[in-house]
Amino acid sequence: MTAPTLLSRHKMFNGSQERYCCVSPSMQREMVFSLYLPPQALQGYAVPALYWLPDSQQTDEVFVQQSGAQRFAAHWGLALIALNTAISSEQDFTSYIVHELPAWVEQHFPISNQRCLLGQGTGGYDALQIALNHSHQYAAVSAFCPPANSAWIKPLSHSLPILIDDASLHTSDEAAQSLLYAARAAGLSVQYHRRSGYDNSHYFIASFIDSHIEFHADALDL
């Protein structure tokens, strides 16, 4: 990746909410992402990173401005990296998520190589699929309202903590039960919560983002 251009910076919960753009070799175009550095990072400590994959047609700024995640990231000492791209299962996008972007942020910021993945909707599906396909690179993965598609499910040689929060107005009972059965039949360690009356929106995410960040902090032994 080329040298980044800082687009914005704001102090938030004694950390720093920042936004960058740079040209990605793997994606062959300019990419934009948001980065929240918790106060621990600003004090010089290397902190783990939680990567956010948005739902289709959403930007990094929606998560940054509406999720309320920074308050909890500051408490636990987690960097938040929110992407701004149409979610895709293409290999170049996977390479960008798994290799290129982490290498760049770990080189330029006080961020360690401890990583977790989190996503919403189609981004949640991609987070699950990428984490299981590259399970040794992630401490945990979680998702809000991933599509009820079991194609991401595969047996693993080790335990990878998985958390799924689903909304009753988004996924039918039958689809949810089928997905959960397939995951557990494959031997995956899945915590699944079905939230009554919620839809797949950032109101839903803001309501439960604290439990997701705590889940990742626990997997990282913070």
The pTM assigned to this predicted structure is: 0.94
C-alpha–C-alpha distance, residues 67 and 131, integer Å:
22
For the stretch 11-53, pLDDT in tens is: 999 999 999 998 888 887 888 999 999 999 999 999 999 999 9
The strand pairing partners of 8, in sequence order, are: 19
C-alpha–C-alpha distance, residues 206 and 112, integer Å:
26
Identify the segments of the chain with pLDDT beneath 70: 1-2, 85-91
Q: Given the structure tokens 């902090």, which residue do they identify?
A: 217
C-alpha–C-alpha distance, residues 23 and 4, integer Å:
8
- Quote the pLDDT of residue 175: 80
DSSP string, 136-196: GG-S-EEEES--S-GGG----SS---EEEEEETTTS-HHHHHHHHHHHHHTT--EEEEEET
- Helix or strand holding residue 32 (H, E): strand 29-37
